[in-house]
Structure 1
Amino acid sequence: MSVTHNFQQLIEQLPDGVVLHDRDTILYANGVANTMLELPSPLPSAVSVSQQLDPVSREAWLHACEKQLGQPDHNQRVELKLQTQEVATHVEASLSTLILDDTPLLLTTMRDISEQKRQEERIRHAANYDALTSLPNRALFLDRLKQELVRANRADSRVALMFIDLDRFKWVNDTLGHGAGDELLRETAKRLLLCHRQSDTVARLGGDEFTVILPDMARGPHAERVAAQIIEQLVTPFHLEGQEVGISGSVGVTIYPDDADNLDDLLKNADTAMYRAKTEGRNAYRFFTQDMHAEAIARMELEKDLHTVVSDGALALFYQPIYDLKTNKLAGAEALLRWTHSTRGAVSPEIFIPLAEEVGLIAEITEWALNEACRQAKVWRDAHPEATDFFISVNLTCTRCRELSTDDMIPDILKKHDLPPQALTLEITENILSEDKERAMLMLTQLREIGVRLWLDDFGTGFSSLSVLRSLPVTGVKIDRTFVPDAIHDKEAAVLVSTIVNMGHSLEHSLIGEGVENEAQMLFLKSHGCEYAQGYFYGKPCAADEFHFNYLK
């Protein structure tokens, strides 16, 4: 069978491939089709289109051919993937029926849609994958989790869900820059993938939050083993911007259907367990337990109320006396935050202060505390002009210290209340150096230069050393309350307190003993050269009016 010369010239000029075929057997193909299908020249008598297709497309093609012959008045369209080239080629084939010499044949045009497919894939990938790490994003994660829960329900199996949050990620961004933060996220993604099977899903929800789906999972050893591997991977130092950086991770784990039988509750449970890991010291994993749910609800309600704690006037300062051990007279007072909740009553500072730090409210609360403490100190000093050395002591979180280094907040507060700098003592912890040492040192040095006293709080409870004392521009060191009560009858505690005193004095720092409960402890500190002491022996923290009545009158 042949085609006319004019018809052949016409179809050879078309931009699309054209194939004339008897069912699957090629009778004629124009130049474009020859190139697409990589057909030999001259064309053998038994070459078929299906030989050039991948297995899935081959079945679709043969079905379309049969359907077109059975319904000649309706053109069939089918997308095909060629397997003849190194780079995948996608074509859109449009079939029609052609009668030649009373024989029904098929005429198919083939248009290369590879670029369109690549563009569709780019759009699909952008919609489902995180651009930075190439991990599945939140949308794809939720879709896969839904599918795994359905499958687990049918197969009566379990699914483990993990939430992972990086510890100190904000510090990396603030200190080394966003480039280093992005590199940390990319490297974290690679390390997480090392911990999982091919059937698992590792996704990035956003920020420094990652999640893992472990299908066909029992609560037993495997989920725990994976969580432990994640912790181990994240605690291994990262190399960012030419520096070795140490971070860690907090992991929350929950199991379907043991802990929850629906997606929303499962997500909440994983987040709750992750939060428990963070609050219990970080660099750890925790499995969800039912008691966490009640705690999460209470915490959510407390967080909501915390946002208005300053504007509602629910905060107050209590004051604990600080005595001069040389004169046995009142030297100053430490201002301590108290929150009286409208329905819960007194909320422990050990609960609401870490929560305020986490949700970004500690700056506002600290600023309020500084203002109120300085205002009260001014009132007392004016009422007792002879108390020229009386000072007020206020605790600063390390987060707030970094923020204060960028402005004149503390000098402005002192000026506002007409309070001399030496009347204010700021208590800091050694953790101030763990995140942004340069900015913290600049701010502390400036405060020291204008006359504000700086005390290192809780000395001896962390990784305190002589190098810490030497590096911080502090004027005093507070011996933690956990050591003082034992110093009377515990030889090791007594040696430790004596060592701290000697270290402080060698650097010309004042020493302040906390937690003094009786006269024997006071005399011990005094005999070892401590300058100041505070504790229940002198008085418990109390409201301003009571403090004035008990100690200033």
Structure 2
Amino acid sequence: MSGTSEGPAPAADLLGPAVTQSKANASTGTTGPPPPTGEHALAPPTDAPPTDAPPRSGAAGLRPASFGAAFSVAPLGMALVDREGLIVTANEMMGSLLGTGTDALDGKAAADVVDLSSDTRTWHAYREVLRGRQARLRCTRRLKHPDGRSLWVQVTVAPLPEAEEAVLLSVADISARRELQARLRHLQMHDPVTRLPNRTLFFERLSAALEAEAYEESGTGRIGLCYLDLDGFKAVNDTLGHCIGDRLLAAVAQRLTRCADEAGHARASTPLVARLGGDEFALLVEDSTGTEQLADLAESVLKALQEPFDLSGQRLSLSASIGVVERHAAGTTATGLMQAADTTLYWAKADGKARWTLFDPERNAHRMTRQALSSALRPAVERGEFALEYQPLVGLEDGRVRGVEALVRWHHPQFGTLTPNRFIGLAEEDGSIVQLGRWALASACRQARRWQLERPDDPPIFVSVNVAVRQVWDSDLVADVAETLARTGLAPHLLQLELTESAVMGSAGRPIQALQALSDMGVRIAIDDFGTGYSNLAYLSRLPVSALKLDGSFVRGFQYEGTDGRPNPADEVIVEAMIQLAHRLGLTVTAECVETSAQATRLRRIGCDTGQGWLYSRPVPPDRISELVGSETCPRS
């Protein structure tokens, strides 16, 4: 044992003499005997002493020299690293992979060679492996090759099973895999027609931008979005084919990109242009400076798209509608921003297209209210949230109540009492007007019959109920009226149904047949708001109509005077002519919106039959009508 010192074997000897021989050959330029291969690699030397132990097979029978040979020729870059983190030896693949040569790696800090200290988490895990406190470290690193190209590698650090003095570092080149993944991601995240980012990538960028803007203090903390839709693009596809349509989309994408580049000139970032699907595009402005910046961008987009497109001999003109949203990023979600943009785009379309519209919180609140009312209409009828109020129709000759108009009110639990103009249009849109109208008809007829029974000695008053034209189309109105009259006991002539002029004039088929059947039954038919629609008086002679209700705009005109201080006769002449013609056709006339005694006097003088308005009474509950019936509501003038 003389001439040697006790202690652990050098790390280079841990894998057997083959590694040492390989290193010696590399330094001298000579080639040593190759390691045994095939069956000789597993056979013991011929001069080995005999043993009674059974022969080992498989990996357990491999000699240390075999492991050393495998280390040297492995197609994977490997190195032994001591517990201090220094490379003791590396195989030729490691040197070739890193472009440094094998000898240049000896004694180098492994963390520097494969960039293990660039982030705290990886560095801590690596130190734990060196100290034997962690079994393995695996991470991905991007390295700079000496030839200038980037190299993506997967680094693994793990202890050797029977060596406490070192750990094994292995490095695998995954650049090709990363490049393939990048190409696949690009295909997945980009639109094949326009080559723009698609919806998926747009929302990814939008979410990241919102998070960054909300927490970074260096920027404005604001974000903007132009959400646009091409006007009439479907007609291009339908008439010229999808091939031309796709080429048009690609040309639009180029112009949008040019607008974004110009908007990003001299700014920190360029707006992101994306195709969200179909003919919808978006321009995302990160770190925006306010609505003026977004308005300028929207104007430039509109101007760019107005220039004609020349595609395969086809000269196409195009326009777009744009919804513009700009707000603080804090408290904003990607979903919320897109909902606001989509709503604003709808406004731009509804306002006439070929324009941009800025998001208006007040207008949006009104839209949200409409949506809330629409969704609650049908359940509200079932819950009994509706009630009827009645406004008298007063005879202008004697001032007595001849009839009442039933006006529906919605006692909404959140928004309070709502008048018909807040919900009737919604009910007509979603069809709930049929259910609501059926309820109003039954309630009004029951009440009219109750008044009649309460005052049997007084002339009975009729009740007038508004009917939407959709009730005629979507239900059997004739059957509903007949059943209601039979159930309540109300005489048909005490029921008047009001339809708007635009719903009746020019109608044919089922609506006219229904009105004729109701008239034959004895029900009165009145045209409401007369004078605002077709005003085809000659057509009235062919309709089963018994009354006209003049629109309030005619009566309101009675209060204005001419230049000489006297009442302007023009309105009176028009109203008098309509009344005379209506009387010749056998129709009665009611004037709406009578507010002053002077108006009532003039209407009585020109022959109007009845008046309705605040001069006599506002819409009131049923018990107030009971007090007015039989009394002179308004003194004769």
TM-score by length of 2: 0.50
User: Which of 528, 531, 537 is 2:615 aligned to?
Assistant: 537
User: Which of 420, 431, 437 is 2:502 aligned to?
Assistant: 431
Distance 1:433 1:188 in 2: 41
1:146 maps to 203
2:529 maps to 458
Q: 1:468/1:371 Cα in 2 relative to 1: closer, same or farther (>3 Å)?
A: same
Distance 1:543 1:303 in 2: 26
Identity of aligned residues (%): 28
User: Which of 408, 411, 420 is 1:337 aligned to?
Assistant: 408
User: Which of 431, 440, 443 is 1:369 aligned to?
Assistant: 440
2:572 maps to 494
**1:379 Cα deviation from its structure 2 partner:** 0.8
Distance 1:438 1:462 in 2: 20
Tell me which amino acid in the other structure corresponds to 2:625.
Answer: F
SS of 1:376's equivalent in the other structure is helix
The C-alpha deviation readout for 1:486-514, integer Å capped at 9, x for no partner, is: 22533332233223223423432211111
Tell me which amino acid in the other structure corresponds to 1:399.
Answer: R
Distance 2:340 2:357 in 1: 11
Tell me which amino acid in the other structure corresponds to 1:492.
Answer: A
Are 1:293 and 2:364 matched, yes or no?
A: yes
Q: 1:512/1:434 Cα in 2 relative to 1: closer, same or farther (>3 Å)?
A: closer
**1:214 Cα deviation from its structure 2 partner:** 4.6
Q: What are structure 2's unaligned runs of at least 5 residues?
A: 1-187, 213-221, 257-274, 286-292, 306-319, 560-566, 632-637
2:281 maps to 213
Tell me which amino acid in the other structure corresponds to 1:485.
Answer: R
1:161 maps to 227
Matches within 5 A, 1:246-257: 253-255=322-324, 257=326
Distance 1:277 1:380 in 2: 51
2:624 maps to 546
Tell me which amino acid in the other structure corresponds to 1:371.
Answer: A
1:504 maps to 582
SS of 1:482's equivalent in the other structure is helix
Verify the 8 A CA contact 1:424 1:452 in the aligned structure 2. yes
Verify the 8 A CA contact 2:400 2:629 in the aligned structure 1. no
Q: 1:269/1:312 Cα in 2 relative to 1: closer, same or farther (>3 Å)?
A: same
With 369-378 and 450-459 compared, the bigger mean Cα shift is at: 450-459
Q: 1:273/1:485 Cα in 2 relative to 1: closer, same or farther (>3 Å)?
A: same
Verify the 8 A CA contact 1:330 1:551 in the aligned structure 2. yes
Q: 1:282/1:150 Cα in 2 relative to 1: closer, same or farther (>3 Å)?
A: closer
Distance 1:192 1:478 in 2: 53
1:473 maps to 544
Matches within 5 A, 1:92-103: none
**1:546 Cα deviation from its structure 2 partner:** 1.6
SS of 2:485's equivalent in the other structure is helix
**1:326 Cα deviation from its structure 2 partner:** 3.6
Distance 1:491 1:193 in 2: 63
SS of 1:198's equivalent in the other structure is helix
**1:268 Cα deviation from its structure 2 partner:** 2.3
With 529-538 and 384-393 compared, the bigger mean Cα shift is at: 384-393
Tell me which amino acid in the other structure corresponds to 1:507.
Answer: L
Distance 2:240 2:446 in 1: 48
**1:535 Cα deviation from its structure 2 partner:** 1.2
Let me know the Cα RMSD of the aligned residues.
Answer: 4.8
Distance 1:339 1:471 in 2: 36
Verify the 8 A CA contact 2:594 2:612 in the aligned structure 1. yes
**1:458 Cα deviation from its structure 2 partner:** 0.9
Matches within 5 A, 1:78-477: 143=200, 146=203, 149=206, 159-162=225-228, 198-199=252-253, 212-215=280-283, 219-220=294-295, 223=298, 253-255=322-324, 257-258=326-327, 262-273=333-344, 287-405=358-476, 408-433=479-504, 437-466=508-537, 469-470=540-541, 472-477=543-548
Tell me which amino acid in the other structure corresponds to 1:146.
Answer: F
Distance 1:457 1:227 in 2: 44
Distance 1:304 1:316 in 2: 19
Tell me which amino acid in the other structure corresponds to 2:469.
Answer: C
SS of 2:481's equivalent in the other structure is helix
Distance 2:527 2:369 in 1: 33
1:525 maps to 603
Distance 1:407 1:221 in 2: 58
Verify the 8 A CA contact 1:148 1:159 in the aligned structure 2. no
**1:372 Cα deviation from its structure 2 partner:** 0.3
Tell me which amino acid in the other structure corresponds to 1:160.
Answer: C
Tell me which amino acid in the other structure corresponds to 1:504.
Answer: A
**1:338 Cα deviation from its structure 2 partner:** 1.2
Distance 2:400 2:585 in 1: 25
Verify the 8 A CA contact 2:495 2:523 in the aligned structure 1. yes
Tell me which amino acid in the other structure corresponds to 1:528.
Answer: I
2:316 maps to none
Distance 2:237 2:578 in 1: 41
Verify the 8 A CA contact 1:479 1:512 in the aligned structure 2. yes
Tell me which amino acid in the other structure corresponds to 1:212.
Answer: E
Verify the 8 A CA contact 1:252 1:287 in the aligned structure 2. no
Verify the 8 A CA contact 1:321 1:330 in the aligned structure 2. yes
Verify the 8 A CA contact 2:400 2:630 in the aligned structure 1. no
Q: What are structure 1's unaligned runs of at least 5 residues?
A: 1-123, 129-134, 167-181, 205-210, 231-250
The C-alpha deviation readout for 1:227-284, integer Å capped at 9, x for no partner, is: 9999xxxxxxxxxxxxxxxxxxxx9842255598654223422454467679989999
**1:440 Cα deviation from its structure 2 partner:** 1.9
**1:184 Cα deviation from its structure 2 partner:** 13
**1:401 Cα deviation from its structure 2 partner:** 2.9
Q: 1:370/1:493 Cα in 2 relative to 1: closer, same or farther (>3 Å)?
A: same
Matches within 5 A, 1:38-117: none
SS of 1:308's equivalent in the other structure is helix
Distance 1:491 1:192 in 2: 60
Which is greater in Rg? 2
Verify the 8 A CA contact 2:321 2:353 in the aligned structure 1. no
Verify the 8 A CA contact 1:512 1:533 in the aligned structure 2. yes
2:314 maps to none
Verify the 8 A CA contact 1:165 1:274 in the aligned structure 2. no
Q: 1:312/1:148 Cα in 2 relative to 1: closer, same or farther (>3 Å)?
A: same
Verify the 8 A CA contact 2:458 2:630 in the aligned structure 1. no
Aligned residues: 378
Q: 1:364/1:534 Cα in 2 relative to 1: closer, same or farther (>3 Å)?
A: same
**1:220 Cα deviation from its structure 2 partner:** 3.7
Distance 2:303 2:610 in 1: 46
2:23 maps to none
2:40 maps to none
Q: 1:383/1:227 Cα in 2 relative to 1: closer, same or farther (>3 Å)?
A: farther
SS of 1:161's equivalent in the other structure is strand
Distance 2:240 2:621 in 1: 49
Distance 2:506 2:248 in 1: 29
Distance 1:367 1:486 in 2: 36
Distance 1:165 1:409 in 2: 44
Distance 1:282 1:324 in 2: 49
**1:287 Cα deviation from its structure 2 partner:** 3.9
